A and B are shown apart, each in its own frame.
Chain A
Amino acid sequence: MDQFTLNLLFVGASFALYIGIAIWARAGSTSEFYAAGRGVHPVTNGMATAADWMSAASFISMAGLIAFTGYDNSSFLMGWTGGYVLLALLLAPYLRKFGKFTVSEFIGDRFYSPTARLVAVICLIVASTTYVIGQMTGVGVAFGRFLEISNTSGLLIGACVVFAYAVFGGMKGVTYTQVAQYCVLIMAYTIPAIFISLQLTGNPIPALGLFGEHQASGEPLLVKLDQIVRELGFNEYTAHHADTLNMTLFTLSLMIGTAGLPHVIMRFFTVPKVSDARWSAGWTLVFIALLYLTAPAVGAMARLNITELMWPNGTDGEAVSVQQIADDPAYDWMATWQKTGLLGWEDKNGDGKIQYYNDAKAEMKAKADANGWQGNELTNFNRDILVLANPEIANLPGWVIGLVAAGGLAAALSTAAGLLLAISSAVSHDLIKGQLRPDISEKGELMSARIAMAGAILVATYLGLNPPGFAAQTVALAFGLAAASIFPALMMGIFSKKVNNSGAVAGMLAGLIVTLLYIFLHKGWFFIPDTNTFTDADPLLGTIKSTSFGAIGAAINFAVAYAVTSMTKPIPNEIKDLVESVRVPRGAGAAQDGH
């Protein structure tokens, strides 16, 4: 069976499974549509939340980011997992106790202010929409590469599948599909990693293999890796080169942003009890950790494999020849990926060999001059191809490659569905029922939720087909908004009995505006190129890059909220009672009756 048929088989089988689940789990009420009837077991919910959270970025990009930077990008690992501690301890149980359907609804009720709810809804829609663009483009790329159809048709097929289970199933359909998607994506991620770890270190557990022995040289894997990248003029893999202040703030911003992303928070509304919300956050992290503990091993091992392929005779010997890349089956992946434009090489000095080294490093100049090198000849290596190309780089069997294709699609589709659900519930529950037509019937609301979902899919598909130039930058925006506006408002709503309506609105707006300003000053106004005053290489405030600013935005939100509260009217007694009731699990079941 050829590779194309295998890919088709794996992707087709996984899609048939998702559609089957969609037919089985249709939503009949708003409670099922928004919160899966609050009957989801904490472990099931944990698995679904893990799939919801782990996007194309976690599956496809993260190991590549770590592979080419090493220790300095540990921020992604700590940031994207540490946020779950905040979520489990500071938000999830209390929001489950509150017992409503959306994040903005809590903000609106707790701060007795439709304005606060509206600000939250706007942040939520902007954050989720920008986030979903990346998922849709990811679906297109994965289809384009593995099924050899155009990105456009790939994206349209993906959109139809999401439509089938999200519009009819709502949270109920999405949750059970995500459980299946989690199983597909975790197998697709760990199976190649286990193979590669066995090849390189003999240890079947990649997380242990990372700290194990490189069998070919008998040295520890990381010592070997440090050595060969150093000899090619790159930063040592395990060493700390990043600015410490920026790294700390970036990690903190990712943590706060993770805890404030509405499509993640709303998952904890689906479990039956407050205590289940606490357990469920733990289970979510178990399922996320399976991938996140493997990712650094995937990164390091792929970096070693690629470097050794480029220097088959060691870094002191001859580089790989152009002829060998063309003829040797071990290099077939290079030709495949060259076609996508994501990988490129050029024999600049015409010696018939491809020298891969860091030509920006001054110390490499002497060595390059002595050997007649005229710059790095592996001219383009897009980091995003690392995970997808990894099984081919390591020469793994064809079915593993098919599995990785299905896994990449599962990661992108599951996150897209979760985001679309967050958008549609914000539109139908917060805007239509909350603001425009409070008297709408349950049936009418369910219908409007479905229409909103269909609309959101159309918008996301359009934006996926015509991604604005800033698509890559927008994840920073989503995290910035979540960290600077949503997380602090939720936390103050639970942990303070003083912060009032004016304080919350002023705090959210201050955090939001300052963070947006900082991002726009560095990335360009509304991400239009060349309208930026500063760059992330030379930022406005010391070493703080725009991607690390969310934590400062959150601090501004807290400070402004407390300052404005102290100058305005204290909160009414019934709101104090609301806060007290949210803090105590007793009677959580009854709270759903409001609907």
Chain B
Amino acid sequence: MRGPFDKKVEESPNVTDQTSNPASTAESDRSYWKANVRLIRISLVIWALVSFGFGILLRPMLSGIPVGGTDLGFWFAQQGSILVFLALIFFYAWRMNKIDKDYGVEE
């Protein structure tokens, strides 16, 4: 998956080379944190969209899409949101572990 985070990753090898220098470590840590916060923000938008959005507030808009005797909003409220939450946590863990390595901050 290529997303808005890929740009940061490409810059980073350059930064990790200089970890011996405290000033540039701080600089690298700051952009690592920015990459993390951006990933969190995107994930939380999806988190809110599937639960509060599709499951509750936007349900009337989805009422035209039938799913097994009811509509898509009901499915999101009782099944879909949970499945998306799962996908989100694993996506975040996978993506962050990769970002950790790119910035050389993994354990």
CB of A85 within 8 A of CB of B77, answer no
CB of B89 within 8 A of CB of A296, answer no
Closest A residue to B63 by CB, please name it. Answer: A240
Interface check A474, CB cutoff 8 A? no
Task: Report the minimum CB–CB distance from B94 to chain A (whole Å).
Answer: 9
Task: Report the minimum CB–CB distance from A91 to chain B (whole Å).
Answer: 11
A350, B68: Cα distance in complex, Å: 41
CB of B93 within 8 A of CB of A278, answer yes
Interface check A416, CB cutoff 8 A? no
Interface check A252, CB cutoff 8 A? yes
Task: Please provide the chain A residues from 204 to 232 with a CB less than 8 Å away from any CB of chain B in the complex.
Answer: 207, 210-212, 219-224, 226
CB of B69 within 8 A of CB of A223, answer yes
Interface check A108, CB cutoff 8 A? no
CB of A211 within 8 A of CB of B67, answer yes
Task: Report the minimum CB–CB distance from B21 to chain A (whole Å).
Answer: 15
How many residues belonging to B are interface residues under a CB distance threshold of 8 Å?
43
Interface string of B60-104 (1 = CB under 8 A from A): 000000011111001101110111011011101100110010001
Contacts of B92 in A (CB 8 A): 88-89, 278
CB of B29 within 8 A of CB of A71, answer no
CB of B56 within 8 A of CB of A207, answer no
Contacts of B5 in A (CB 8 A): none
Contacts of A252 in B (CB 8 A): 52
CB of B43 within 8 A of CB of A589, answer no
Interface check A112, CB cutoff 8 A? no
Interface check A429, CB cutoff 8 A? no
Contacts of A84 in B (CB 8 A): 85, 89
Q: Which of A240, A274, A282, A583 contacts B107 (CB 8 A)?
A: A274
Task: Report the minimum CB–CB distance from A217 to chain B (whole Å).
Answer: 11
Task: Report the minimum CB–CB distance from A200 to chain B (whole Å).
Answer: 13
Q: With A238-B70, A585-B100 as given contacts, are A78 and B89 in contact (CB-CB < 8 Å)?
A: no
Contacts of B78 in A (CB 8 A): 66, 71, 74, 77, 210, 296
Closest B residue to A81 by CB, please name it. Answer: B82
A258, B47: Cα distance in complex, Å: 15
A281, B92: Cα distance in complex, Å: 11
Contacts of A160 in B (CB 8 A): none
CB of A85 within 8 A of CB of B79, answer no
CB of B89 within 8 A of CB of A81, answer no
Contacts of A286 in B (CB 8 A): 86
CB of B57 within 8 A of CB of A85, answer no
Interface string of A250-281 (1 = CB under 8 A from B): 01100100000000000000000111001101
Interface check A587, CB cutoff 8 A? yes
CB of B93 within 8 A of CB of A279, answer yes
Q: Which of A89, A220, A292 contacts B40 (CB 8 A)?
A: A89
Closest B residue to A208 by CB, please name it. Answer: B68
Q: With A84-B85, A584-B29, A585-B107 as given contacts, are A71 and B77 in contact (CB-CB < 8 Å)?
A: yes
Q: Which of A71, A77, A275 contacts B106 (CB 8 A)?
A: A275
CB of A240 within 8 A of CB of B59, answer yes
Closest A residue to B37 by CB, please name it. Answer: A495
A224, B68: Cα distance in complex, Å: 11
Task: Report the minimum CB–CB distance from A587 to chain B (whole Å).
Answer: 7
CB of A222 within 8 A of CB of B68, answer yes
A82, B77: Cα distance in complex, Å: 11
Interface check A247, CB cutoff 8 A? yes
Task: Report the minimum CB–CB distance from B16 to chain A (whole Å).
Answer: 11
Closest B residue to A74 by CB, please name it. Answer: B77
Q: With A74-B55, A584-B105, A588-B107 as given contacts, are A85 and B69 in contact (CB-CB < 8 Å)?
A: no
A274, B55: Cα distance in complex, Å: 32
Contacts of A211 in B (CB 8 A): 67-70, 75
Q: With A583-B33, A585-B100 as given contacts, are A248 and B56 in contact (CB-CB < 8 Å)?
A: yes
Contacts of A278 in B (CB 8 A): 89, 92-93, 96-97
Contacts of B83 in A (CB 8 A): 289, 293
Query: Which residue among A81, A212, A252 has the maximum number of chain B CB atoms within 10 Å of its CB?
Result: A81
A296, B92: Cα distance in complex, Å: 27
Contacts of B52 in A (CB 8 A): 248, 251-252
Task: Report the minimum CB–CB distance from B98 to chain A (whole Å).
Answer: 10
Interface check A244, CB cutoff 8 A? yes
Interface check A442, CB cutoff 8 A? no
A402, B103: Cα distance in complex, Å: 54
Task: Report the minimum CB–CB distance from B60 to chain A (whole Å).
Answer: 8
A503, B105: Cα distance in complex, Å: 31
Contacts of A587 in B (CB 8 A): 107
Query: Which residue among B32, B51, B57, B81 has the maximum number of chain A CB atoms within 10 Å of its CB?
Result: B51
Q: Which of B26, B77, B82 contacts A289 (CB 8 A)?
A: B82
CB of B47 within 8 A of CB of A82, answer yes
Interface check A575, CB cutoff 8 A? no
A221, B69: Cα distance in complex, Å: 7
Q: Which of B36, B74, B82 contacts A292 (CB 8 A)?
A: B82
24 contacts between A and B (CB under 8 A): A71-B78, A77-B82, A78-B51, A78-B55, A81-B85, A211-B75, A212-B68, A219-B69, A220-B69, A223-B70, A244-B57, A248-B57, A251-B56, A252-B52, A273-B107, A278-B97, A282-B89, A289-B83, A293-B83, A296-B79, A580-B26, A580-B29, A583-B36, A584-B32
- Extra pairs beyond A81-B82, A211-B75 (19, CB < 8 Å): A74-B56, A78-B82, A81-B85, A85-B89, A89-B44, A210-B68, A211-B68, A212-B68, A226-B69, A238-B74, A278-B89, A278-B93, A281-B93, A289-B83, A289-B85, A293-B79, A584-B105, A585-B105, A585-B107
Interface residues of B (CB under 8 A from A): 26, 29, 32-33, 36-37, 40, 43-44, 47, 51-52, 55-57, 59, 67-71, 74-75, 77-79, 81-83, 85-86, 88-90, 92-93, 96-97, 100, 104-107
Nearest 9 CB-CB pairings of A with B: A211-B68, A220-B69, A222-B69, A74-B77, A278-B93, A282-B89, A296-B78, A223-B69, A238-B70
